[in-house]
A and B are shown apart, each in its own frame.
Chain A
């Protein structure tokens, strides 16, 4: 079945550091890919998405590019802020399906 694998956390960075959270997927066909963010005590918020190969999703300074050849959707941000501290979930949605498959999440802590 489909699966999503994220780098294990926690990840601790200093403010203004560069962030990469790795995500790879296994799926039949070409799924849509998502990054969701969960701030402390809150539900999941859609951060960005990409629906086809080579698409780049971006929002709030975060970016991720759908790489079919490496089945990856790594999340990046050039300069993190303390307010970015949260848990980040990578997810895939099989084409023509409603079934979201989530990774286990990566906790990011940004210190001043």
Chain B
């Protein structure tokens, strides 16, 4: 069974540029999560989807971050414009349902110059 797929794996951009990350969850997993992982820290939740609905986006900086999960499968996380402090690893995870074990993708390492 394929795991959570993310792309790109690495992205380098200049500040004020837009950037987008893509995630394909494990087939059949209704719940999708985006996490932010700063260097030397554990992941922190940004947003959670149940199917196509964002049911918890309280930690998402909405002035520059946005996300969507059209058709309840793939998801895209966007930053516009990016700032230096956004340099981090962005992790996508999925689970069968709300309380199921979360499985993580390899992440996208973003560097903002």
Give A42 to B44 CA distance when docked, in angstroms: 17
Q: Say whether, besides A100-B45, A104-B40, A104-B41, A44 and B101 are in contact (CB < 8 Å).
A: no
The reply to whether the CB of B31 lies closer than 8 angstroms to some CB of chain A is yes
B-contact bits for A77-112, CB 8 A (1 contact / 0 none): 000000000000101010011111011110000000
Q: Which residue of A lies closest to B41 (CB)?
A: A104
Whether A91 pairs with B42 at a CB distance below 8 angstroms is yes
The reply to whether the CB of A36 lies closer than 8 angstroms to some CB of chain B is yes
Residues of B69-94 at the interface with A, using a CB-CB cut-off of 8 Å, are 89, 91, 93
Whether B42 pairs with A98 at a CB distance below 8 angstroms is no
Interface residues on A, range: 20 to 34
Give A21 to B95 CA distance when docked, in angstroms: 26
Whether B95 pairs with A98 at a CB distance below 8 angstroms is yes
Whether B104 pairs with A98 at a CB distance below 8 angstroms is no
Whether B31 pairs with A44 at a CB distance below 8 angstroms is no
Whether A98 pairs with B48 at a CB distance below 8 angstroms is yes
Q: Say whether, besides A43-B104, A44-B91, A102 and B98 are in contact (CB < 8 Å).
A: no
B102 partner residues in chain A, CB cutoff 8 A = 46, 98, 100
The reply to whether the CB of A49 lies closer than 8 angstroms to some CB of chain B is yes
A34 partner residues in chain B, CB cutoff 8 A = 101
Whether A105 pairs with B42 at a CB distance below 8 angstroms is yes
Q: Say whether, besides A96-B99, A104-B40, A44 and B104 are in contact (CB < 8 Å).
A: yes
List B residues at the A interface (Cβ < 8 Å).
4, 6, 31, 33, 40-45, 48, 56, 89, 91, 93, 95, 98-99, 101-107
List A residues at the B interface (Cβ < 8 Å).
4, 34, 36, 42-46, 49, 89, 91, 93, 96-100, 102-105
